[in-house]
Amino acid sequence: MTELKPPHDPIEALGQAYELMLEESIKDLHKIEDKSAPVIHDLIANAKERLSAAGELSHEEAERIGEYLERDLVDVGRYLAETGRELKDWLGFETALIEDEFLIMLQQAADQTQLEWLKLRLQAQAERPSYKTGEVVAPGTFVCLKCGEENHLYKAGHLPPCPKCAATGYRRTDSR
């Protein structure tokens, strides 16, 4: 398990925690044979428990990061299944701008999540996720719901207020 580096910035620390939880979930994904629904939820729940028990994250941090990670994986799965497009299209920019290790983990999770999403699609809410300032998100391009300004995040981290109008609501570019 990759350890969290001592953070100089608490916001950076939650981005690192998001990546660590994704890494832990992917490790478990490789170990299981039955990849049926709701495996992503279960993998994230196990990662939350391990990271909390190991003292890497508080219980509250693990819960919050787990919710963010599950939201992003469901969204990427939905996008890939609905559009047939590539991960770089969901991100809203070329994948060369993301660290290779994180990109590989995200692609592995996205492949499994796409299958999960197709199963859940019949029963799931058709509503696309919205994003709020302060939430930890996967890399991507986010569009301000108020003014339409694009905000590009090249690694997992907190979503800041809109740089143009200071609004706090976003959607991903693919949701236009």
For residue 151, the one-letter residue type is: N
Give the global pTM.
Answer: 0.65
The pLDDT value recorded for residue 32 is: 65
Is pLDDT above 60 for 21?
yes
pLDDT band, residue 1 (cuts 50/70/90): very low
Residue 155 and residue 172: Cα distance in Å, rounded? 15
**To the nearest whole number, what is the mean pLDDT of the chain?**
76
The angle at the Cα of 5, spanning 110 to 138, to the nearest 5 degrees, equals 25
User: Each residue of 41-72: pLDDT tens digit?
Assistant: 777 888 888 888 888 888 998 899 888 888 88
Ranking 3-12, 63-72, 113-122 by mean pLDDT, the lowest is: 113-122
73-90: average pLDDT: 77
Across 128-164, b (16+ Cβ under 10 Å) vs e yields ebebebebbbbbbbbbbeeeeeebebeebbbbebbee
Q: What percent of the chain has pLDDT over 70?
A: 66
Cβ contacts of residue 110 below 8 Å, gap of 6+?
A: 73, 76, 77, 80, 87, 90
User: Each residue of 121-162: pLDDT tens digit?
Assistant: 534 444 567 899 999 999 999 999 999 999 999 999 999 999
Q: What is the enclosing helix (H) or strand (E) of 25?
A: helix 10-31
